[in-house]
């Protein structure tokens, strides 16, 4: 069976927050972007990239032809400045989108507390994430300035500051508008210092790490990898009866499969087992139960792994929930046993069949899916391999229906991603459960820890489209997602209960 090690990649992130630094006439904002489309990531060809290093992105958005000219990223070694020119030409000038609507789509729905939504740089060879820098007053260090245009055309320039990337190039992800790959990173020029004044000063530029995440088809386990730490999570409801800590015959088989995963992925012989409970019952009772359950799993692992591994265990009771709230789904996610070790995530992809689905399925073509509010046509536009990652683009158009359908793309979010700490609003309208399918697990998009907004409960961000807009009939949107590289020449994209597209070829990106 072939296996592919998933190398952690690094993304530098630049965010432009709603209403921040947008210049020009004040106009009313859209009502949630119901008629806004978003474009696909664009991989520039060699003959389309200007000689001065400016990388173009051309898309259609809300009845408008949009051109972005992404300039080389300047760095002084500590901070970096991204500049990009915007040209928007409406198909029908009388229906031209308002400038504030365009700027809002670059900014998204975030704010400075949650790192801001917006432009993101990612260097897939480094494994680090740089959220948007903060200004002296705590806002995002980013701005969009409106240009003069020619009446029928809107123009502008975006500027954002972030922590300096490590490589000679970086990829740039624009919310709703696509991706520019292989943007050069160059030494700071004469106007570099002016950028800090333009965005309102720079106080803090953080660095984060990306996390890879997979979930088994039987939903008995999930695996995450962040830097060189791998965590295999086993659902307590699979392992134990309520209030019990004795492993059943089925549970022993689940732990034995986890032991096989450890031998395939571990770089060292130290394995640590941690038991967790939900918040039902007292703190003291839950602490003792978590300790007993961790010990049971550790004993089974020790028998399965042999003397080459050192097994330790502890219980943490209800103190470290992974899902918000007290719902049945949240409490089920919080009841778990985690197995931690140093290593690398491995995806097996050449054996076993895909899980069955009742969702519409096509081979490398457009698929028609039905949601509560109407019908949608979904198609994969591109799959581009970058170091340690695959950047995917989908186009979705609403073909029928009149009612508001805000969660049309994500029907099974609680079941699939409810324990990944994205937050309720993001989980209801993003691409968090859009997966590539391996031999025995779903490979979910990269994520990373954001600036927390809830004490003792750090939220996470998705490297991709975090808010899929509601659509009017006849309108379309583009969806961009960055997954860990599965090593496959062709991939299957799956949205549970919605659609599946098989046999999608993966092309090699530039600059690998």
Kindly give, in sequence order, each residue whose CB lies less than 8 Å from that of residue 252, ignoring residues fewer than 6 positions away.
300
Q: Is the confidence at residue 76, as pLDDT, over 70?
A: yes
Structure confidence at residue 15 as a pLDDT band (50, 70, 90): very low
Residue 185 phi/psi, 5-degree rounding, is -110, 120
Residue (of 298, 378, 282, 349) closest to 488 by Cα position? 349
* Pair 350, 335: CB distance under 8 Å: no
Residue bearing tokens 């993001």: 426
Lowest mean pLDDT among 29-43, 146-160, 164-178, 302-316: 29-43
Mean pLDDT to the nearest integer, 418-423:
70
User: Would you state the structure tokens that stand for residue 62, as one six-digit string?
Assistant: 């809300």
Residue bearing tokens 């919310």: 175
Lowest mean pLDDT among 24-38, 181-195, 214-228, 299-313: 24-38
In angstroms, the CA 383 to CA 191 distance is 36
Structure confidence at residue 36 as a pLDDT band (50, 70, 90): very low
Residue (of 378, 372, 369) closest to 402 by Cα position? 372
Angle between helices 283-305 and 249-265 (to 10 degrees): 60
**What was the pLDDT predicted at 175?**
72
CB atoms within 10 A of CB 386: 24
> What is the maximum alpha-carbon separation in the chain?
75
CB atoms within 10 A of CB 358: 6
* Pair 334, 321: CB distance under 8 Å: yes
Residue 466 phi/psi, 5-degree rounding, is -90, -20
* Sign, Cα dihedral of 119, 424, 356, 230: positive
* Sign, Cα dihedral of 396, 402, 408, 411: negative
Domains of the chain listed by start with CATH number: 9-209 (no CATH), 229-343 (3.30.1330.60), 361-508 (2.60.40.1240)
Using DSSP, state whether 365 is helix, strand or coil. coil
Cα 49 vs. chain centroid, distance in angstroms?
27
User: Would you state the structure tokens that stand for residue 162, as one six-digit string?
Assistant: 């972030």
For residue 128, what are the CA distances in angstroms to 69, 224, 227, 320? 25, 16, 9, 25
Lowest mean pLDDT among 3-7, 90-94, 138-142: 3-7
């Amino acid at each position: 069976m072939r296996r592919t090690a998933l190398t952690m990649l690094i993304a530098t992130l630049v965010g432009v927050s709603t209403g921040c630094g947008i210049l020009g006439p004040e106009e009313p904002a859209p009502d949630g972007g119901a008629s806004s489309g978003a474009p696909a990531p664009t991989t520039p060809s060699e003959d389309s990239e200007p000689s001065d290093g400016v990388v173009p992105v051309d898309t259609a958005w809300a009845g408008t032809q949009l051109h972005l000219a992404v300039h080389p990223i300047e760095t002084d070694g500590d901070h970096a400045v991204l500049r990009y020119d915007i040209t928007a030409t409406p198909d029908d000038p009388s229906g031209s989108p308002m400038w504030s609507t365009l700027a809002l789509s670059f900014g998204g729905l975030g704010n400075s507390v949650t790192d801001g939504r917006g432009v993101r740089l990612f260097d897939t060879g480094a494994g680090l994430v740089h959220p948007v820098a903060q200004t002296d007053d705590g806002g995002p260090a980013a701005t969009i300035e409106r240009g003069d245009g020619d009446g029928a055309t809107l123009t502008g320039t975006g500027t954002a500051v972030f922590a300096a990337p490590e490589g000679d190039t970086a990829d740039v992800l624009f919310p709703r508008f696509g991706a520019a790959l292989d943007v050069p990173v160059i030494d700071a020029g004469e106007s570099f210092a002016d950028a800090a004044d333009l965005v309102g000063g720079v106080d803090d530029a953080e660095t984060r790490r990306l996390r890879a995440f997979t979930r088994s088809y039987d939903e008995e386990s999930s695996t995450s990898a962040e830097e060189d730490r791998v965590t295999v999570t086993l659902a307590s409801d699979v392992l134990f009866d309520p209030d019990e800590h004795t492993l059943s015959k089925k549970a022993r088989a689940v732990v034995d499969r986890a032991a096989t995963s450890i031998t395939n992925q571990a770089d060292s012989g130290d394995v640590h087992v941690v038991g967790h409970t939900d918040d039902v019952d007292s703190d003291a009772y839950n602490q003792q139960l978590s300790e007993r359950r961790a010990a049971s799993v550790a004993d089974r692992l020790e028998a399965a792994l042999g003397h080459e591994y050192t097994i330790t265990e502890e219980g943490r009771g209800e103190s470290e929930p992974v899902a918000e709230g007290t719902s049945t789904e949240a409490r089920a996610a919080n009841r778990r046993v985690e197995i931690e070790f140093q290593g690398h995530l491995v995806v097996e992809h050449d054996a076993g069949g895909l899980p069955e689905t009742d969702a519409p399925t096509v081979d490398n073509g457009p698929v028609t899916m039905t949601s509560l509010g109407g019908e949608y046509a979904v198609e994969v536009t591109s799959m581009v391999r970058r170091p340690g990652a695959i950047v995917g683009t989908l186009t979705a158009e609403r073909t029928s229906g009149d009612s508001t359908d805000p969660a049309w793309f994500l029907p099974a979010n609680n079941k699939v991603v409810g324990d990944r700490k994205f937050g309720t609003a993001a989980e209801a309208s993003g691409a968090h459960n859009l997966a590539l399918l391996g031999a025995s697990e779903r490979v979910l998009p990269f994520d990373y820890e954001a600036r927390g907004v809830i004490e003792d409960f750090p939220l996470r961000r998705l490297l991709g489209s975090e808010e899929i807009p509601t659509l009017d009939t006849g309108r379309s949107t583009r969806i961009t997602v960055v997954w860990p590289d599965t090593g496959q020449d062709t991939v299957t994209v799956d949205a549970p209960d919605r659609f599946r597209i098989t046999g999608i070829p993966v092309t090699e990106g530039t600059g690998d």
